Amino acid sequence: MENFVHITLGVSLVMFLYLIKTIVLEGIDYMMYWCSYFQKLIQTNKDVQTLNLVNSVTQKTITLRSPEWISYVFKVLSPEGTPLNRDTLEYFFSATETDEILALFDRHNTGSIDEKTFIDTWLNVAYEKKKIKNVVEYKNVLLKKLDYLFSFIFIPIMLFTFMTILGKTEYFTTYGSIVVGFILPLSFIFAGVIGDLFKSIVFVFFVRPFEVGDKIEMMDKIYIVDEIGLLYSTFLNNSLNVTMSNIEIMNKNIVNYRRSEFYEKKYTLKFDIDVYKRVVDDFKKELKNLIDEHSKLLKKKFKLENIVVKEEGKLEVDLIIYADIHSHNLMEGIDEFSIRLDKLVNEIKQK
């Protein structure tokens, strides 16, 4: 009877330790996914429902990530290729459905949706859906690795607890001393690795500076997070696969585009001092008009600052603009604006 009580108590304590491990893993799971992505998941699912609503005019199965298909849907809504507006949409949809579509595709409240904006917005939603799916998959892989690590730590503790309650510690001590005698010399060799492992776990699971699929800026380079490991993470840079240790990454400044609202772009413009004084007001007006033309990408505010006087009557001034960092065609839009800006600067200098 006494042995039965001891066994029952031992099993209960082992189950309690197992429960603690499970709770810790579930807590990490909650912090990694639900805290960061739950609201995003709800919004993305809502946006996908809106895409299905728009796609219903074709009476065909939706294709989420095909620009050709998205263009076809746009042409069904607007055969002549003119921008969509409320009147156009209400021909196909109810007023409530139209409000839902405009809320997704016309977030800048311009009153119209051209084909390019239509395609870009659709692809943005498709990209978010795919990214969240990838995050969930890699989150499960990471948690599985962490589960193995926790098991490696908890199983000896469970065995020791169970054997202690049964009064069989001599067996555990005998075999444990053999194992410790084998592991102890190795601990001196791998002490640094073990320390790095636990630092990396804190970095990956608790600091969480990025997730799989995130676009980040690090060391003045743009990377796409491809895979996150317990010790090493893999990134894509210009289609090149780059692997870095998490400890190395911890010491870098990381800009996460997903967690940012706007991308700040700086141009250093050069003028003659006399020319700048003469044209600065006109330049600001023309610049405002140019930014308004790119209102679906650029925020309306801009800055002209940090004027530096150079030799021979020259000066340099920094122009800072703010672009929607979540735009699907962010870099293409910035490149197009840069070309237009260069043309504007050359024209304004001739005045």
Q: pLDDT tens for residues 6-28?
A: 566 666 676 776 777 777 777 77
Tell me whether residue 231 is in a domain.
yes
For residue 138, what are its two tokens? 């890699």
Q: 87 or 189: which carries more pLDDT confidence?
A: 87
Which residues fall within 8 angstroms of residue 164, CB to CB, at 6 or more apart? 172
C-alpha triplet 64, 68, 71: angle, nearest 5°: 90
Are 289 and 340 within one domain? yes
Tell me whether residue 225 is in a domain.
yes
pTM above 0.75, yes or no: no
200: burial class by Cβ within 10 Å (0-12, 13-18, 19+)?
buried
Q: 319 or 174: which carries more pLDDT confidence?
A: 319
Tell me whether residue 182 is in a domain.
no
According to the model, what pLDDT value does residue 168 have? 63
Buried-exposed string 131-140: b where 16+ CB fall within 10 A, e elsewhere:
bbebbeebbe
* String of DSSP letters for 283-350: HHHHHHHHHHHTTTTEEEEEEEEEEEE-STTEEEEEEEEEEETT-TTHHHHHHHHHHHHHHHHHHHHT
Are 5 and 119 within one domain? yes
Closest CA to 303 of 348, 257, 266: 266
Tell me whether residue 204 is in a domain.
no
pLDDT at 179 over 70: no
pLDDT at 176 over 60: no
Tell me whether residue 95 is in a domain.
yes
Are 289 and 333 within one domain? yes
Domain that includes residue 267, residue range: 262-350
Domain count across the chain:
3
Tell me whether residue 109 is in a domain.
yes
Query: Average pLDDT of the chain?
Result: 80
According to the model, what pLDDT value does residue 35 have? 63
According to the model, what pLDDT value does residue 44 have? 86
Are 255 and 287 within one domain? no
pLDDT in tens, 58-93: 888 888 788 899 999 999 999 888 999 999 899 899
CB atoms within 10 A of CB 209: 18
Are 225 and 297 within one domain? no
Phi, psi of 226 (to 5 degrees): -100, -40
Contact 304, 237 (CB under 8 A): no
Q: What is the mean pLDDT of residues 243-247?
A: 88
Are 248 and 292 within one domain? no
Per DSSP, helices labelled H in the chain are 2-29, 35-55, 67-77, 86-92, 95-105, 115-166, 169-202, 246-250, 273-293, 330-349
DSSP summary character for residue 257: S
Q: What is the mean pLDDT of residues 182-196?
A: 57
Q: 188 or 88: which carries more pLDDT confidence?
A: 88
Are 84 and 22 within one domain? yes
pLDDT in tens, 206-234: 778 888 878 888 888 888 888 888 788 88
Are 254 and 277 within one domain? no
For residue 13, what are its two tokens? 């304590």
Rounded Cα distance, 34 and 185, in Å? 42
Rounded Cα distance, 217 and 237, in Å? 10
Rounded Cα distance, 298 and 94, in Å? 31
Tell me whether residue 325 is in a domain.
yes
